[in-house]
Amino acid sequence: MEILAYGVQADERPLLEQAFAGRHGLRCLDVFLNRDTAPLAAGYPAVSSSVNAVLDAETLAVLAAGGTELIAQRSTGFNNIDLDAAAELGLTVARVSHYSPYSVAEHAWTLALAVNRRLTRAASRSREFDFRLDGLLGRDIHGMTVGVIGTGKIGECFARIAAGFGTELLGWDIARNPACLDLGMHYTELPELLSRADLVSLHVPLLPATHHLIDGAALARMKDDAILINSSRGGLVDSAALVETLRAGRLSGVGLDVYEEETGVFFTDRSIEGITDDTLARLVTFPQVLVTSHQAYFTRTAVGQIIDATARNIDDHAAGRRNENALVPRN
C-alpha cells in the first residue's frame, strides 16, 4: 500500500522509513495535513497525519475524492478529526490508542522543575557569564501539595513521580485510580484541588466538557504562588485568562507544552517572520513561563511505539482486519 505521511519531523523520518521498509511504499512530507495540502494525497490509498493536522469535513472530502481510504493518525488525541464526516465519506480512521505514559509525565515534571528553579533564566545568564542568584529563588518540591487533574495512565505516572518527591497528592477525575489511591492520593472536587494545590498538572483529554477547564474562575481559585503545568491539550486552558492572571502578578510558574492555537505554529520555524498570535507572544514574555512545542511525547521509546502502532494499523487495514485503534472502522 502506498502511504503519504504528513508532518514528519526530521528525527522521526528514519524511524518511519525503517518501520515501513519492505512492507509499504512511503513518502514523507514535513508539511501538515489540512485543506490546502490535502490535494497532495491524490492517488495515495493511505495517509498518516500528525497531531497538528486539521482534518475537518472539507479536508476529508478532498482526501476521499483523491482516492484515500485510510487515515492513520500518529497520536492518541483525535479532537482534530471530524469523525462523523469521515464515516459519511467512507473513510477508515485509526489512531494510536496508547504509548509510553512516562514520556509525557516526565516532561511535565521537567517543566515543573524548570519553572520552579528558574532554570531558563539561569541558563541564559550563564551564557553571558552572569552568575548572580538574584531572582532565581525556588521552593522545595518535597512537602508541596500537588494536584493531578486526570489520573489515567499519564496522570498516574506523574503522581508516582510526585510521591517520590514526598508530596501530598490531590486528584480529580471521573473515576478513581486504585494505583493512585495506593500512593496516598486524596480525590476531591476541582475547586478544592485548585485552592489547595501548590502545583497543578493537567492530564485530561480535550472534550467539550473539559474545554477551558482552567478558565478565569479556576485560575482565581489557585494560590498566588502556585505552579500550573499543561502537557495534555492546549484547549484545557483559557490562554487569554492565563495572560490576565500573570499580568496581575499571580502564579509563580507556568509550564506549557501545548497551546490552544498551536496549529500552524508549533513544529514550525517562526524565528524570522515571527508570529501574529498576540496571546502566545505575550505568554512567552513572562519570566516565569516556559513554553515547549508539544514535545512531551517526543522520546525514542514513545515515538517508536507510535510508529509501530501506526504500521500495524496500516497492515491491518490492508489485510481487511479491524483492531482496537479504529475510530471509524472499515466498512
Catalytic residues: 233, 262, 294
CA–CA gap between residue 232 and residue 165 (Å, rounded): 22
Contact 180, 146 (CB under 8 A): no
Q: How many residues does the chain have?
A: 331
Burial label, 312 (beta-carbon count in 10 A; 0-12, 13-18, 19+): middle
CA-atom Rg of the chain in angstroms: 21
Per-residue buried b or exposed e for 38-72, using 16+ beta carbons within 10 Å of the residue's own CB: bebbeebbbbbbbbbbbbeeebbbbbbebebbbbb
82 CA to centre of own chain: 19
331 CA to centre of own chain: 31
* Neighbouring C-beta atoms of residue 76, cutoff 10 Å: 20
DSSP 271: T
Q: What does each C-alpha distance from 199 to 49, 98, 115, 203, 223 come to in angstroms?
A: 34, 26, 11, 13, 9
263 CA to centre of own chain: 12
DSSP 331: -
- Specify the 3-state DSSP secondary structure of 175: coil
238, 286, 304, 2: which is closest to 120 by C-alpha? 286
CA–CA gap between residue 179 and residue 160 (Å, rounded): 9
Bridge partners, 93 (sequence order): 71, 328
